[in-house]
């Protein structure tokens, strides 16, 4: 069994079908031929509304789905629940050595595995900052820049 979702024009590579379910984890009852399938389609959809990763599909947009089986012919129905991860965590800290107390400090939250900037913020001079993040199992770090000069980098850590 497989399920494919229509990727829309403004989502990554443009209009195409993405196979979002194949070789799932399943529980079956051989006597009644009932099968319950579970699948994690997280790599294909935005994990939260502001997720800007390339190729992620927006769960709030209307799209078409298709279901089928590669090597079999049978009847099945499906229910799909797609939701955002609604728990929010915090990444917070302090800027303590900005070169100027009167100029803007640009603050960047990065994924530690690839350095991708995922959220930006700014403040004037030294002081606190806080980002809201939706995954407490992903290593992150923060960098700060003022007037093109690197003010520092945090150590890698998890949102709390």
Q: Are the C-beta atoms of residues 36 and 27 closer than 8 Å to each other? A: yes
* pLDDT tens string 46-61: 877 778 888 889 888 8
CB-based contact 111:136 (threshold 8 Å): no
**Could you report the per-residue pLDDT of 122-132, keeping only the tens digit for each?**
999 999 999 99
60 and 7 both lie in a single domain: yes
Residue 36 included in any domain:
yes
Does pLDDT of 117 surpass 80?
A: yes
Which residue range(s) make up the domain with 127?
89-153
pLDDT score for 28: 57
* 93 shares a domain with 63: no
Residue 124 maps to a domain: yes
Question: Are residues 40 and 94 located together in one domain of the fold?
Answer: no
Q: Does residue 6 sit in the same domain as residue 41?
A: yes
Number of compact structural domains in the chain: 2
Same domain? 22 vs 52: yes
Given a cut of 90, whether residue 68 has pLDDT beyond it is no
Nearest CA-CA partner of 22 in 41, 43, 3: 3
Is residue 34 a part of any domain in this protein?
Answer: yes
């Amino acid at each position: 069994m497989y399920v494919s979702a229509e990727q829309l024009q403004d989502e990554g590579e443009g209009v195409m079908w993405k196979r979002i379910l194949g070789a799932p984890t399943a529980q079956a009852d051989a006597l009644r031929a009932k099968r319950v399938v579970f699948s994690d389609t997280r790599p294909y959809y935005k994990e939260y509304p502001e997720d800007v990763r390339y190729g992620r599909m927006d769960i709030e947009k209307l799209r078409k789905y298709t279901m089928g089986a590669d090597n079999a012919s049978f009847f099945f129905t499906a229910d799909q629940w797609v939701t955002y991860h609604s728990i929010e965590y915090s990444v917070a800290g302090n800027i303590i050595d900005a070169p100027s107390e009167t100029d803007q400090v640009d603050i960047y939250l990065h994924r530690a595995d690839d350095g991708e900037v995922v959220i930006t913020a700014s403040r004037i001079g030294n002081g606190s900052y806080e980002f809201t993040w939706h995954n407490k199992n992903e290593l992150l770090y923060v960098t700060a820049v003022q007037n093109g000069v690197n003010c520092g980098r945090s150590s890698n850590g998890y949102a709390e």
